[in-house]
Amino acid sequence: MADVLVWVMQRRVVLADRAERLRKELAEIDAEVARLEAAEVVIGQFIETERSGQADDPAVAEELERVTTPGAGGMLLVPHREPGMDESALPADYQAIMKIVAAASEPAPAKDVSVQLGRGTQPRQVEPVRDKLRRLADRGWLHRTPAGRFTALPRSSV
């Protein structure tokens, strides 16, 4: 019976390591998708400008060079929180997560946030939310407890 317990524990460790690797890979894929979406927007704007005949206008050309879309060219979708920044600096889906966590009376687990977002409780529905919560915590927007739950930071902590 002890052999079975050892096997179960070893298997759990192996699967936990694999899950962590897959989470990292998923985060990298999400970042690449965001960069490609941003590139698609910028290229679409450029093509539309060329079609309308405005591409030769120096002011338009200068504006096209200045266009920066979050997620493009290494820009962060979720910026590091700095003094004076509020949630309006975040993309809409992250703002929704911030509101849910701020309204919670106790540290919020990812599953509860996922449910409140209307996404469900299955791992495929919760894990993207957990990744966003971690990203917010890593960049100073939320606090992550040792138990893996999330709380809003006091406004004066930034």
Confidence check: pLDDT of 101 > 50 = yes
Instruction: Round to whole Å and give the CA distance between 22 and 17.
Output: 9
pLDDT at residue 1, rounded to an integer: 84
Q: Tens of pLDDT along 114-129?
A: 999 999 899 889 999 9
For residue 119, CA distances in Å to 98, 148, 154 come to 16, 19, 27
DSSP 83-151: TT--GGGS-HHHHHHHHHHHH-SSPBPHHHHHHHTT--SSHHHHHHHHHHHHHHHHTTSEEE-TTS-EE
Q: What is the mean pLDDT of the chain?
A: 82
Instruction: Round to whole Å and give the CA distance between 131 and 84.
Output: 25
Mean pLDDT of the 19-45 span:
82
- 94 vs 63, residue with greater confidence: 94
User: Does the model's pTM come out above 0.85?
Assistant: no
pLDDT band of 27, cuts 50, 70, 90: confident
**Measuring CA to CA, which residue among 8, 24, 6, 11 is closest to residue 138?**
24
Q: Tens of pLDDT along 34-79?
A: 887 777 777 777 777 666 665 555 655 555 555 444 555 555 678 8
